[in-house]
Chain A
Amino acid sequence: MAASIDKPTCFQDIILRLQAYWASKGCTILQPYDMEVGAGTFHPATTLRALGSTPWAAAYVQPSRRPTDGRYGDSPNRWQHYYQFQVIIKPSPPDLQALYLGSLEAIGIDASMHDIRFVEDDWESPTLGAWGLGWEVWCDGMEVSQFTYFQQVGGHDCNPVSGELTYGLERLAMYVLGFDDGNAMPFNSPDAPIPLTYGDVFREAEAQYARWNFDVADTDILLQHFKDAEAECARILEQPADDPKTGRRIVMAQPAYDQCIKASHIFNLLDARGVISVTERQAYIGRVRTLAKMCADAFVQTEAGGYVA
């Protein structure tokens, strides 16, 4: 029964519960990656770790940015900065669906009172050269998560296959906490000495970023940054595997991948500024994908990626 399930009280409660739940299932709880990304998948803990045969299990919150979604803090359900909760387990365990349903229960969604459905949705990231099959998970007709079995990343077949879960935290929290306006939902406990809503934390910054993203960002500088990131990524990967100073084999896949992430985010900013035409769009996406593929090629040359000397 609904009453027997302990409901979360605020946004951060949902995050804490998801972390506790997945920690109890053996995941390493990581922190967000310290770069601007468009989605939790970009975190090297997912993109790079999905490659190679080394087993892996991690969960983390990833602040994500989609400049075109900016609404100056006025929209009840769209922000250019938002949070995703990401779980990645390699190889995907046979009971991943049951584990996922357990996580919903942990945040107060009682399967006996709701209609939870796995609806076909094949995931593809053209910028990462990645795809997988799975579902969007519906709770009472609302998409609450993305559930994917990775088949390819950076042009490499995933073997073994990783299972990836992505929760859109704002939408999920609004549903669980019963708020139509995301800015009004409590971020910390409403009983705290200083109770703050989601809007208290982000609304002002949303307006600032919307203005910058849409009208102020210097497109010449951004275009140059894109080229720089592209060039640096290639330069890093051109270095020989053996480091002349230490004499060790050090393939710099992750520093190169940082440049790929950077290029991807700069592309999103340029897109929001409206300076990329429809035809150019595809070309830019293709350039980022090339970087992602080069980084994937490099990662499988590292120990974590399965390289054996």
Chain B
Amino acid sequence: MPDLLIELFSEEIPARMQAKAAADLRKLVTDGLVDAGLTYAGAAAFSTPRRLTLTIDGLLAESPTLREERRGPKVGAPDKAIEGFLRGAGVSRDDLEEREEKKGSFYYATVTTAGRPAAEIVADVLEKAIRTFPWPKSMRWGAGTLRWVRPLHRILCILVDEAGANVVPLDVDGIKADNLTEGHRFLSGDVFAVTSFDDYETRLKRQKVILNPEERAEAIWNDATNQCFAAGFEAVEDKGLLAEVAGLVEWPVVLMGEIGEDFLDLPPEVLQSSMKEHQKFFSVRNPKTGRIERFITVANTETADQGATILAGNQKVLAARLADAKFFWENDLRVAKSGDLSPWTDKLAAVTFHNKMGSVGDQVSRMAAMAEKLAPMVGADPALARQAAEVAKADLSSEMVYEFPDLQGLMGRYYAEAAGLPNAVAVAAEEHYSPLGPSDAVPTEAVSIAVALAEKLDKLTGFWAIGEKPTGSKDPFALRRAALGVIRIVLENGLRLHLDRLFDAQLLRHEIGMQPTQEAAALRDALLREVAQHGVFGSAVRAVIDQIEGDAPDWISAVTEHKPDLSDDLLSFVHDRLKVHLRDGGISHDVIEACLAMPGSDDLVLLVKRAESLAAFMATDDGTNLVQGFKRANNILSQAEEKDGVEYSYGGDPNFAEDPAETALFTALDTARAKIKPSMDSENFAAAMEAMAELRAPIDAFFEAVQVNAENEVVRRNRLNLLSSIREICSQVADLTRLEG
């Protein structure tokens, strides 16, 4: 069985694309081979900056011969039909066989497809893979039309068996497959021929190319930690950077350099960001001082001076960059240390947030209003929450964040500290963007929570108000992430909030907008405070409106005529994200649906409590008892309600009970009610459901002994009303009709 070796040799492939490209090559080629009938024993793919390599072993030497029987037209059909069949099957009339069937006699042909040699199939499959390769971005070059990530120079493609290696004949837009490759751009000599994968990998290493990216990464990390250890330092681990750097070199050479005394006082994040983002350096910490004092750079070449020139050059570039950073840091500190951040916050009025939502300054004032309202609900001081929101985005005007945008928030904290602002305010400046992803930490300080929630609620309601909801895979403003952020902040901090009211309040704030006078703004704020606390349709809102002296401003109609469509829609968007979040936590969708159908579903903590209790309860025998008991009662009840066209909800009268089992059920229901009430009041859903499950036995006994549809209509109605009590009692935790199975 032959082995196959493929190398696609090109100009430098972007590091971030290499791993996926190797995997894609493997998938495209192996899928193609298998589809054509060529099975194989194993396959592995590798990448370097200049090559994608695929090795496949134990490939079939040729695809198997296929025999297929085809049914043709009826015997005696027009010649045209028969000739057409013959053409399609590739056989002659003599090869046809006639067979009797129920509906008459039919022609049959046996079609044999001969196996094809592996080389032919490989050539087809590889050409197709090259022409349809899923690069994130590809290009043309020279006068050709072929597309690749960067100009493609060579195709190495050989099949190797006991007799030796054979080049697979293939020509893609003038690039002919061969058995040739080349080594390191600067450290190796001429093009050379290879005879097998082992030979290829060994020769490459001799020509200063490590083929396997994992081996390169390991070599880099080993060497880096060894050099650091020898000098009494420690390298700061960064797996993403390591993978990227391994994709920038074929022959890694690790060099350690010094940052320079002048720059050691910069915030460590600034050092790390400058070194990582721009120079791809690893940070090296001095364990004695805890500071980042050195760096590791990875060169792609060996030199006669052991990298001294390379290191000096890198050090010089870093010094120039850090000199800039230091300049920005010192300028910014001068502003911050004045204690007054208003030169920065004022500037935000000139920065567009979104052309339909005004400036970042507008965003900040909306956030501040929301944070202040949220503060009492999350245990924060309202004045502090407002102050924190007002300076949370001040750092966007700083020189440092202008140069290093990924330091936003973090610099905000440094500058708020330098300005002597309360610690909670400084921390919130950093944390109000959190959580940025599903695994990012959630803020836990009360003030940070208020500002982080305000930021996300403002964003969600704002984009909802202008009709920019995410669709399909498009979510340019990262609203799904914002919704998940709200969910995680609420759940992980156990916050009891009425999201619906908060949505309405902030939607109205977007709608009403900035107010020209202080008086109007005060009225707006008073109204929205009531909306956030009591809902837009509450009497509290009415009361504020009634107290307006003189003519009410035009925008009052926005409040009085407010429709809940948008906030409902936004809530169901949040519920959708919550479903995904809970499903990831192992709670099935029908359990979630059953709980979503209950009132108060905008209180996510309550909702999740219900769902978790129900999911856990459904896994027990009592869970089955509860559902079976409920369903038995509910089915009969629903049928009767449909037939009679009424809803039975009265509850029944024990005085009309005829059978002891019926009386017993009345008693059991009373006992259950008494037990369930305090459990529900304390949101102990498990205890409530246990009490419901105890009803199974009396329910079953009732159905054994009693015919619900009694002839006496009074007795029948009383029994149906009795069943309605079961439904009412059992539906307090969740809508059990939505459970499957």
Binding site for B on A (CB under 8 A): 1-2, 77, 91-94, 97, 111-120, 122, 132-135, 139-142, 149, 151, 158-161, 163, 175, 180, 277-279
Contact = CB atoms under 8 A, between A and B. Distances in A.
Given A120-B14, A141-B297, A112 B303 contact: yes
Given A114-B303, A115-B301, A115-B310, 20 more contacts: A1-B304, A92-B151, A93-B142, A97-B11, A112-B304, A114-B301, A114-B313, A115-B299, A116-B301, A117-B300, A118-B11, A118-B12, A133-B150, A141-B313, A142-B316, A149-B151, A159-B140, A277-B350, A279-B352, A279-B355
5 contacts: A91-B142, A120-B15, A141-B317, A160-B143, A161-B139
B27 interface: no
A94 to B, nearest CB: 6
Contact of B309 (A114, A132, A160): A114
A120 B351 CA distance: 31
Query: From DSSP, what is the main secondary structure of chain B's interface residues?
Result: loop
Contacts of B352: 278-279
Determine which residue in A135, A139, A141 has the highest number of CB atoms from chain B within 10 A of its CB, and name it. Answer: A141
A175 B313 contact: yes
Closest 3 CB pairs of A and B: A140-B313, A120-B14, A141-B314
B305 interface: yes
B192 interface: no
B140 A151 contact: yes
Contacts of B140: 149, 151, 158-159, 161
B346 to A, nearest CB: 15
A113 B16 contact: no
B317 A142 contact: yes
Contacts of A97: 11
A134 B149 CA distance: 9
A222 B472 CA distance: 45
B142 A120 contact: no
A149 B148 CA distance: 12
Given A117-B248, A133-B137, A160-B142, A140 B279 contact: no
A118 B10 CA distance: 12
B12 A149 contact: no
Contacts of B279: 141
Determine which residue in B142, B151, B351 has the highest number of CB atoms from chain A within 10 A of its CB, and name it. Answer: B142
A171 B15 CA distance: 26
A2 B389 CA distance: 58
B313 to A, nearest CB: 3
Interface string B273-312: 0000001000000000000000001011101110101111
B153 interface: yes
A112 B313 contact: no
Contacts of A2: 309
B320 interface: yes
A192 B235 CA distance: 50
Given A112-B186, A113-B303, A149 B317 contact: no
A1 B310 CA distance: 14
Interface in B1-53: 11-12, 14-16, 49
B271 interface: no
Given A2-B309, A114-B309, A140 B317 contact: yes
Size category of the B interface is 35 or more
Interface string B139-173: 11111100001110100000000000000000000
B318 A141 contact: yes
A175 B317 CA distance: 10
Contacts of A111: 186
A135 B141 CA distance: 14
Interface string B308-335: 0111111011101000000000000000
B15 to A, nearest CB: 7
Interface string B180-223: 00000010000000000000000000000000000000000000
Contacts of B139: 132-133, 149, 151, 161
A133 B12 CA distance: 11
Determine which residue in A133, A180, A277 has the highest number of CB atoms from chain B within 10 A of its CB, and name it. Answer: A133
A140 B310 contact: yes
B311 to A, nearest CB: 8
Given A117-B300, A122-B137, A91 B355 contact: no
A161 B141 contact: yes
Contacts of A93: 142
Given A120-B14, A149-B151, A279-B352, A140 B142 contact: no
B313 A135 contact: no
Given A94-B142, A149-B141, A180-B316, A119 B248 contact: yes
Contacts of A133: 137, 139, 149-150
B309 A113 contact: yes
A134 B150 CA distance: 7
Nearest to A98: B185
Nearest to B313: A140
A87 to B, nearest CB: 16
B313 A278 contact: no
Contacts of B186: 111-112, 116
Contacts of A117: 12, 248, 300
B153 A94 contact: yes
A278 B351 contact: yes
A159 B140 CA distance: 9
Contacts of A149: 139-141, 150-151
Interface in B44-97: 49
Contacts of A278: 350-352
Contact of B310 (A114, A159, A279): A114
Contact of B313 (A119, A139, A160): A139
Nearest to B257: A141
B713 to A, nearest CB: 75
Contacts of B16: 120
A51 to B, nearest CB: 15
A90 B313 CA distance: 34
Contacts of B149: 133
Contacts of B141: 91-92, 149, 161, 163
Contacts of B320: 77, 180
Nearest to B138: A133
